[in-house]
Copies of this chain bind each other. A is one copy, B any other.
Amino acid sequence: MKARIEVMLKDGVLDPQGEAVARALGSLGFEGVGGVRQGKLIELDLAAGDAEAARAEARRMCEALLANTVIETYRVEIVE
Which A residues fall within an 8 A CB radius of B?
A: 6-8, 18, 21, 24-25, 28, 30-48, 57, 60-61, 64-66
Q: How far is the CA of A35 from the CA of B57 in the complex (A)?
A: 15
| Given known A21-B66, A25-B61, A28-B65, contact A44–B33 (CB-CB < 8 A) | yes
In order of increasing CB-CB distance, the 10 nearest A-B pairs are A32-B47, A34-B45, A41-B41, A39-B41, A37-B43, A35-B45, A38-B42, A36-B44, A28-B64, A6-B41
Q: How far is the CA of A25 from the CA of B61 in the complex (A)?
A: 7
Contacts of A30 in B (CB 8 A): 57, 60-61, 64
**Which residue of chain B has the shortest Cβ distance to A47 in the bound complex?**
B32
